[in-house]
Amino acid sequence: MPQLHRPTMEKNRVETSLSSLIRNKSLLLVGAIALLALLVWTLGSSSAQRWLPAAEGGSAVDPLCVTGNENQTTFYDDPNLSYSIEKPIKNWDEKRREWLKIHPNLAAGSSRRVLVVTGSQSSPCKNPIGDHLLLRLFKNKVDYCRVHGYDIFYNNALLHPKMGSYWAKIPVVRAAMVAHPEVEWIWWVDSDAVFTDMDFKPPLEERYKNYNLVVGGSPDMIYENPSWLGLNAGVFYIRNCQWSLDFMEEWAKMGPQTPNYEKWGQILTTAIKDKLYPVSDDQTAMVYLLMKERERWGDKVFLEHEYCIQGYWLHLVKTLDNITRNYIGLEKKIERLRRRHAEKVSESYGTVWEPYLEEAGYRKDAGKRPCITHFTGCQQCSGEHNSMYEGDSCWKEMERALNFADNQVLRNYGFMHQDLLDSSPLSLVPFGFPA
């Protein structure tokens, strides 16, 4: 009997093994398909998250993988191209366009992209608290850039050995343009300038769309009654284009790297009546260049004297406590203004304030936060300052302005300074503050 059943049993075992194999392969195939689908979904989800714009002014750029056709020749491969202010670049607009074509992921949103450039000297400060102040001033700029999705370049090296002090900014800005063809605007900010309105965003695409250089100044004090105070060259926006390279080249011709530097000091003192010292400086040189060559440059220069770009610290710091009360007063009345939110969306929340500030009558120099408080005449690193400033008023008021700005940042982390003149103690911000 067993012999009669053996073929049937063996046949059943073969069929069973074959069925089991088919089932196992089917399961493996289904599993592989599921795993592949999960992998595709994961990569797609990760990629989608990475490609979201960091801020309204940014662009959909993958921060982990910014690539292009790296085998294609660009202007960087030209041995004659120089980052130096002394060697002109021609056809820069065309060079930028071609480079952006090779890097399409950076071309998207390039017209809105901003690089903030600032810096300080390379050696340690003589002022005992100078390095501490420089660190806090840099942190202030980093905070502002993080909120708005801007990149920042901090330089503390002389890019031209003879262009020191206030002239050092020109070779830095020029080199930054070449190093960053993906940005449309370079925003130069002196080291002694403090961002005191973290919600402020320059209207580059609206108010300044037809201009290449925006600097705080008075047209009358440039073209009609020239004064070395007709503009302030410590904060300006300059477009990354051929016009700007040409302008900086002309501007730099009055600098200390030229053989006619002493002569330029005499020319500027003669032409600008209120200039006291026969030394060529960057600010008076810009005034002179605009005054003498208005037809060449004037149409593309916006001398800002109505909208916020920067303000002189001496009168602004006295208003900061009152401004704090103004904003807290609005928060008490309007619940949506005191709503907590992630720092990443601070820029959009900042726009919510505008109609309420306008309705309350708060505007530039009248109850609204100053966009930038510039400590002109205070040399935080050397410890020297204009003789008209009393004692250590420069350093105390810098601390006040920095803490005023810091409170706007710390609110998103749940803390704030109670006393603007004391940086150390912090208070926890309760839910619903300041209701």
Bridge partners of 417, per DSSP, are 426
Q: Give the largest Cα separation in the chain, rounded.
A: 128
212 closest CA partner among 158, 253, 173, 259: 173
Burial class (CB in 10 A: 0-12, 13-18, 19+), 394: buried
Model pTM score: 0.84
Backbone region of residue 186 per phi and psi (left: phi > 0; alpha: psi in -120 to 50; beta: other values): beta
CA 171-176-178 angle, to 5 degrees, is 100
Task: Judge whether residue 176 has pLDDT over 80.
Answer: yes
Pairing of strands 213-217, 301-304: parallel
Query: Dihedral angle at the C-alpha atoms of 77, 156, 420, 376, nearest 10 degrees?
Result: -100
> If you average pLDDT over residues 399-419, what whole number do you get?
96
For residues 189 and 166, what is the distance between their CA atoms, to the nearest angstrom? 12
Task: Judge whether residue 6 has pLDDT over 50.
Answer: no
Range among 14-28, 240-254, 382-396 with highest mean pLDDT value: 240-254
For residues 362 and 329, what is the distance between their CA atoms, to the nearest angstrom? 12
For residues 435 and 430, what is the distance between their CA atoms, to the nearest angstrom? 10
pLDDT at 185: 98
For residues 218 and 64, what is the distance between their CA atoms, to the nearest angstrom? 44
> If you average pLDDT over residues 249-263, what whole number do you get?
97
202 and 116 Cβ atoms separated by less than 8 Å: no
Q: Among 102-111, 227-236, 387-396, 399-408, which is the least confidently predicted range?
A: 387-396
Provide, rounded to the nearest whole percent, the portion of the chain with pLDDT above 70.
84
What does residue 87 show for φ and ψ, rounded to 5 degrees?
A: -120, 105
Task: Judge whether residue 261 has pLDDT over 90.
Answer: yes
